[in-house]
Amino acid sequence: MTVSIIRFGGSNCDRDAERALEHLGIDAEIVWHEDGLPEETSGIVLPGGFSYGDYLRAGAMAARSPIMADVREAAAAGTPVLGVCNGAQIGCESGLTEGAFTTNESARFQCEHVYLRVERDDTPWTAAYDEGDVIEIPIAHGEGRYEIDDERLAELEDEDRVLFRYCDENGDTGPDVNPNGSKHNIAGVLGDRETVAVLMPHPERVTLPDVGPTDGQGVLRGFEAAENGA
Amino acid sequence: MTAYTATVTVRLKHGVLDPEAETTQQALERLGFELEDLRSADRFEIDIEAESAESAHERASEMAERLLANPTIHDYDVEVDER
């Protein structure tokens, strides 16, 4: 099993993702987007960064690059896909997940540790946690405010496709603990299949024990869990 | 074939928060201007050759649908002028 980490021009969390996955014993390689998706790909990371300088909208250009057709096809066939930060923006722009990540309510770039409440524990990305668990993960984005119209938001919540919400250390959500103004404090959502997920916070930055907390490991272990049919 | 300029204006849907516009409004107010509200939009001017104004409009609309606007948060309109 090899996880392909797609590097676009301007990706900058690709190497972090590779090191974090390797630390967990998950084979991973960085793939330049123009080279296409390798056949042996068993999982896909859309990494963080500033692909194409965030021109037009964050993720808009990368979402329309040819490799994304392969990524959508693989996702539809059940290959696990995880989009982090700019990768989450690319995921929404490409239609892998619903909604859009746009300018923070503060209109500022925000780089800070936040708490997330795990909304489901029956997906590969959250199998390592229990529902209601609170995990600490950093954000680093200027365009992380989750937007979606109210009707589709209701559908998303009815279908139980919200994976993480911003919360306080006790797991309570609300406007006071919403770092970017996201609708209903949404930090991460699932696509059509539970094997497809995007989130703005960076699990790969809290995976290596020598740089601090390791709450993000469970998210990355989703690639193993998906393989094992969790 | 005729030369046209299609102007595509992309703006946030009504009700979607626009922090950049709010910040801009605040800056104008700090400069002493009085204003009720401020909305911002992106404008793309696209030069194309087409059989007719309708055909130019159709192509520019498809560009808006597929890239220039994000239908989740944006509305857009297209105007076509001969160049």
From the candidates A98, A119, A204, A224, give the one annotated as an active-site residue: A204
> For residue B19, what is the DSSP state?
H
Q: A183 at the B interface (CB within 8 A)? A: no
Contact between A100 and B70 using a beta-carbon 8 Å cutoff? yes
Dihedral pair phi/psi, residue B36, rounded to 5°: -85, -45
With a cut of 60, say whether residue A230 has pLDDT above it: no
Tell me, yes or no, if A77 comes closer than 8 A to chain B by beta carbon: no
Q: How many domains does the structure of chain A reveal? A: 1
Of the residues A85, A119, A141, A224, only one is catalytic, namely: A85
Amino acid, res. A194: E
Structure tokens at A23: 């630390």
pLDDT band with cut points at 50, 70 and 90 for residue A9? very high
- How far apart, in whole angstroms, are the C-alpha atoms of residue B56 and residue B27? 38
The whole-number average pLDDT for the span B4-21 is: 96
- Amino acid A228: pLDDT: 83
pLDDT, chain A, mean: 96
- 3-state secondary structure (DSSP) of residue A1: coil
Residue A211, pLDDT score: 86
Question: Are A149 and B68 an interchain contact pair (Cβ–Cβ within 8 Å)?
Answer: no
A138: containing domain: 2-227
Supply the CATH classification number for the domain B2-82: 3.30.1280.10
Nearest to B17 among A60, A93, A105 (CB): A105
Strands A110-118 and A81-84: unpaired
| Residue A178 in this model has a pLDDT that exceeds 70 | yes
A204 is catalytic: yes
CATH number at residue A207: 3.40.50.880
Domain limits of chain B? Answer: 2-82
Distance CA A105, CA A185 (A): 12
> pLDDT at position A66, please?
97
pLDDT digits (tens, 9 = 90+) for A18-60: 999 999 999 999 999 999 999 999 999 999 999 999 999 999 9
In this prediction, residue A1 carries a pLDDT of 81
* ipTM higher than threshold 0.95: no
Chain centre distance of CA A12: 15
Predicted confidence (pLDDT) at residue A143 exceeds the cutoff of 70: yes
List the one residue out of A200, A193, A207, A1 whose CA is nearest residue A81: A193
